[in-house]
Chain A
Amino acid sequence: MADADRIPGFSTLSIHAGAKPDPTTGARATPIYQTTSFVFDDVDHAASLFGLQTFGNIYTRIGNPTCAVLEERVAALEGGTAGLAVASGHAAQVVVMHALMTPGDELVASKKLYGGSINQFNHSYKNFGWNVAWADPDDMTTFEKAVTDKTKAIFIESIANPGGVITDIEAVANIARKANVPLVVDNTLATPYLCKPIDYGADVVVHSLTKFLGGHGNSIGGMIVDAGSFNWSRDKKYPMLCEPRPEYSGIVLHETFGNFAFAICCRVLGLRDLGPALSPFNAFLILTGIETLPLRMQRHCENTLFVAEWLSQRPEVSWVSYPGLAGDKYNALAKKYVPKGCGAVFTFGLKGGYDAGVKLVSNVDLFSHLANIGDTRSLIIHPASTTHKQLSDAQKVQAGAGPDVVRLSIGLEDKEDIIADLEEGLTAA
């Protein structure tokens, strides 16, 4: 299809993007290039590689052919110009912000985020002098008000973890465009199968590959996708991209690499110097997972809607927060942004409060009681007794982790078995 003008469909890209047969051996599956380093032809070739004058591999901390297939795969699925694989979703966020922020700069972030991201932004970023201003995705004016002349980026999740919040990506993108700052969207819970944030104005997309993209609960990984849409040189606000870099004898990255300069910047200044490289072995496992992403997401969504509807009829359950349910607060936004389904992660409340939550996670048997999401297996956690135990009750409620809250990540098992297990857990003495 090399010269065809038609754009391949999502399932075709999930299998083929980035993965041509190996040029030397003809291996059809992507080989695991389990090597730290790559030989040079001669000193001139080495100099060209180090100086970014030619494309190629030097050292797996900066790039690796197995990881590169994964990068191109996810970039193609998201409709971006380039990708960069890193060791985890958290590493992806740090590398992105490292490219955008200098000490004293500000990040505007939705307050409805994965708890680990809230911690990273609130606490770890302080050590870099990066400040976060929180905004409420239910009130767009809070994003507008949070933007100042120090703002360098806006950060949201497409589907927010854990509570089934759908963010109005296009509305936030308009605010970002007006402020001339890039919009960074964490698309982990939706995956590009359900939602492509770049279509709605995202300039950078980040992922925890650990979740649905890998999909099998076996590998931690992260991804940065460059949409190629942001003009990094316009206001001279992003020195990593628009000024001569002393690290590379004065190269200006945006001028040299055009619409994939951000991904290159994250690689040659971020990954190179900060070091959170992805293992090629993990890249291989995640690539294998992505080949079945469309099939898995269809089943995840089908199972999850079924379970959410079943739970909402149960006498033990006080509320279910899943945007796929008719009447859910985010149902209208879900129809716009995730029409194929709302993913597999949601929360619900138990009338019996804290004790009922503890009892449920103890009494289910098919569900695994653990802290991950986005596995083939169904997963359950009671945040108040685990991940959020150290918070006060008021703080727990604020974080969407009140004493009655249970989070589920619905797997690919037969849906009758999933509800049978929940029923047993809910009714056990």
Chain B
Amino acid sequence: MNHDQYPDSYIRGILNTVKTIAMVGFSPKENRPSYFVFKYLLERAYRVIPVNPGYAGKEILGQRVYAKLSDIPEPVDMVDIFRASEHILPIAQEALTLEPKPRVIWMQLTIRNDEAAKLAEDAGLKVVMNRCVKIEYGRLSSEISWMGVNSRTLSSKRAQVLGKGVQRMSIGAGTPSEDKKD
């Protein structure tokens, strides 16, 4: 995978198939990017499990926080990481010990560790680096277009509204609640 530029189909495929996301480096502070992404993904029907040793055992927005990935008692589809690039390798190594293995390791904006990416890809995982899950979901669902952002998508098909309520868009084919294979 060329980690400088991901095809939309690659990102869309990931976001349309993962259901349970473990969020490493999660902060319960409401002004932190990880909290934004956490809340946004919960509202879009993903199961999001926060990971932060400082808050282990607490519940944030109804979700129990775990100290580390290996403490999570259920299968995880994707590990979403909010830690600086130099701290990624041990997190990726720990992710690869999970049983079953997650299918995706995602590193947030400004985070890139090619060694960790190679390790994960060699183990059959998909990897995304230096991208924000929330921004990518918003971009592919057209929600982000409300902020004047160049979504780099063109279509004469109607964008999909997500569930009930207003101002929520879906990334189309397959909502997270539907079981879909790559």
Chain B 6-34, CB-CB to A under 8 Å as 1, else 0, gives: 01110010000000000000000111010
Binds A, one of B71-79, B96-104, B135-143: B135-143
Chain A 146-172, CB-CB to B under 8 Å as 1, else 0, gives: 000000000000000000000000000
Contact of A263 with B149 at beta-carbon distance under 8 Å, contacts A20-B159, A39-B166, A51-B30 already known:
yes
Whether A258 and B132, one on each chain, are in contact in the complex, defined by CB atoms closer than 8 angstroms, is yes
Please tell me which one of the listed residues B7, B143, B155 contacts residue A55 in the complex, with CB atoms under 8 A apart.
B143
Chain A 1-39, CB-CB to B under 8 Å as 1, else 0, gives: 111010010001100111011111010100000000011
Contact of A244 with B166 at beta-carbon distance under 8 Å, contacts A17-B154, A75-B149 already known:
no
Whether A28 and B31, one on each chain, are in contact in the complex, defined by CB atoms closer than 8 angstroms, is no
User: A residues within 8 A CB of B144?
Assistant: 55
User: B residues within 8 A CB of A13?
Assistant: 154
Distance from A379 Cβ to chain B, minimum over Cβ atoms (Å): 30
Please tell me which one of the listed residues B29, B109, B150, B159 contacts residue A258 in the complex, with CB atoms under 8 A apart.
B109
User: A residues within 8 A CB of B151?
Assistant: 18, 72
Whether A255 and B33, one on each chain, are in contact in the complex, defined by CB atoms closer than 8 angstroms, is yes
Contact of A68 with B160 at beta-carbon distance under 8 Å, contacts A38-B167, A258-B132 already known:
no
User: B residues within 8 A CB of A81?
Assistant: 149-150
CA distance A216 to B156 in the complex (A): 26
CA distance A12 to B147 in the complex (A): 22
Whether A21 and B149, one on each chain, are in contact in the complex, defined by CB atoms closer than 8 angstroms, is no
CA distance A193 to B43 in the complex (A): 40
Whether B154 and A1, one on each chain, are in contact in the complex, defined by CB atoms closer than 8 angstroms, is yes
Total contacts A-B at CB 8 Å: 138
A386 on the B face (CB < 8 A): no
Chain A 245-256, CB-CB to B under 8 Å as 1, else 0, gives: 000111100011
A313 on the B face (CB < 8 A): no
Contact of A2 with B150 at beta-carbon distance under 8 Å, contacts A23-B159, A51-B30, A53-B40 already known:
no
Interface size on B, residues (CB 8 A): 43
Whether A68 and B148, one on each chain, are in contact in the complex, defined by CB atoms closer than 8 angstroms, is yes
User: A residues within 8 A CB of B90?
Assistant: none
For A26, give the chain B residue with the smallest CB separation.
B158
Whether A82 and B152, one on each chain, are in contact in the complex, defined by CB atoms closer than 8 angstroms, is no
Whether B150 and A56, one on each chain, are in contact in the complex, defined by CB atoms closer than 8 angstroms, is no
Distance from B150 Cβ to chain A, minimum over Cβ atoms (Å): 4
CA distance A334 to B149 in the complex (A): 31
User: B residues within 8 A CB of A3?
Assistant: 7-9, 12
Whether B158 and A22, one on each chain, are in contact in the complex, defined by CB atoms closer than 8 angstroms, is yes
CA distance A2 to B8 in the complex (A): 7
B54 on the A face (CB < 8 A): no
Whether A2 and B155, one on each chain, are in contact in the complex, defined by CB atoms closer than 8 angstroms, is yes
Most buried by A among B33, B109, B153: B153
A80 on the B face (CB < 8 A): yes
Contact of A71 with B36 at beta-carbon distance under 8 Å, contacts A1-B154, A23-B158, A250-B31 already known:
no
User: B residues within 8 A CB of A54?
Assistant: 39-40, 43, 167
User: A residues within 8 A CB of B29?
Assistant: 250
Chain B 28-60, CB-CB to A under 8 Å as 1, else 0, gives: 011101011001100100000000000000000
Interface members, chain B 72-131 (any A CB < 8 Å): 109-110
A83 on the B face (CB < 8 A): yes
Distance from A230 Cβ to chain B, minimum over Cβ atoms (Å): 14
Whether B166 and A38, one on each chain, are in contact in the complex, defined by CB atoms closer than 8 angstroms, is yes
Whether A28 and B156, one on each chain, are in contact in the complex, defined by CB atoms closer than 8 angstroms, is yes
CA distance A249 to B110 in the complex (A): 23
A267 on the B face (CB < 8 A): yes
Whether B149 and A56, one on each chain, are in contact in the complex, defined by CB atoms closer than 8 angstroms, is no
B70 on the A face (CB < 8 A): no
User: B residues within 8 A CB of A22?
Assistant: 158
A236 on the B face (CB < 8 A): no
Q: With contacts A1-B154, A2-B154, A75-B149 known, what are 19 further pairs, Cβ within 8 A?
A: A20-B154, A20-B155, A21-B156, A21-B159, A23-B161, A39-B166, A53-B36, A54-B167, A56-B146, A68-B146, A71-B148, A72-B145, A81-B150, A82-B147, A82-B149, A248-B31, A249-B31, A250-B29, A251-B31
Q: List 17 A-B contacts (CB under 8 A).
A: A2-B155, A20-B145, A22-B158, A23-B158, A23-B169, A26-B158, A48-B39, A48-B40, A51-B30, A53-B39, A57-B146, A72-B149, A76-B150, A84-B148, A249-B30, A256-B33, A258-B135
Chain B positions near chain A (C-beta within 8 angstroms): 7-9, 12, 29-31, 33, 35-36, 39-40, 43, 109-110, 132, 135, 138, 140, 142-161, 165-167, 169
